[in-house]
A and B are shown apart, each in its own frame.
Chain A
Amino acid sequence: GEDVEQSLFLSVREGDSSVINCTYTDSSSTYLYWYKQEPGAGLQLLTYIFSNMDMKQDQRLTVLLNKKDKHLSLRIADTQTGDSAIYFCAESNENRDDKIIFGKGTRLHILP
């Protein structure tokens, strides 16, 4: 079945760039998403990309999609302490109706 995989932890120094990687198995994915979950909070949609795009930039966030390798990444420039959270990669497929398939989430830890 469809699957989304991502590493569980990432530590980055404040001010550096963070790069969170994700791979997925569904070659027919329509949308790919990055959600952020802060402690005790819900899933906040950070950004998403259509599967026919290679890149999307939104302020400090850059999403890169390599459809051939089924690889998605999220780059956070100038990482701040407020970026400390769990980041979930997710995908949806128009042939699979409504459900979003999530990865396990990458916990981003910011070092001073």
Chain B
Amino acid sequence: EPEVTQTPSHQVTQMGQEVILRCVPISNHLYFYWYRQILGQKVEFLVSFYNNEISEKSEIFDDQFSVERPDGSNFTLKIRSTKLEDSAMYFCASSRDRGFTDTQYFGPGTRLTVL
């Protein structure tokens, strides 16, 4: 069964450094998402992406965050200057159709630790 994959599984970085989290969505999916889960907290929506542009973003997704689909398979989340509070599990998801009409399939997550 096709699945969403994410790399790396765990990323450790120093505060102020840039990180890029990578995702390979399911191949025939057109809508892509990033969520994050701070330890002990809820899974929170960050951003959705369709047709090479952001379709929706939350208040968490400020100027230090960006997303990109650099080629036909990868979908990346960049954090420009990491803060301690960016430490979380980051989940990528994809769906064939809009998020409210089709189910979103999630990857295994990347645990980001900011020191």
Contacts and interface: CB of A to CB of B under 8 A. Distances in A.
Interface of A: 4, 30-31, 33, 35, 40-45, 48, 88, 90, 92-94, 96-105
Nearest to B108: A42
Nearest to A8: B40
Interface of B: 4, 6, 31, 33, 35, 41-45, 48, 55-56, 58, 91, 93, 98-101, 103-109
Contacts, number: 72
Contacts of A31: 100, 103
Nearest to A47: B103
Given A92-B99, A92-B100, A104-B41, A98 B106 contact: no
B58 A99 contact: yes
Contacts of A48: 103
Given A42-B4, A100-B43, 9 more contacts: A35-B106, A42-B108, A42-B109, A43-B106, A43-B109, A45-B106, A92-B99, A98-B100, A100-B45
**Residue among A4, A40, A93, A99 facing the most chain B CB atoms (10 A cut-off):** A99
A40 B107 CA distance: 11
A44 B4 CA distance: 11
A98 B33 CA distance: 9
Contacts of A104: 41-42
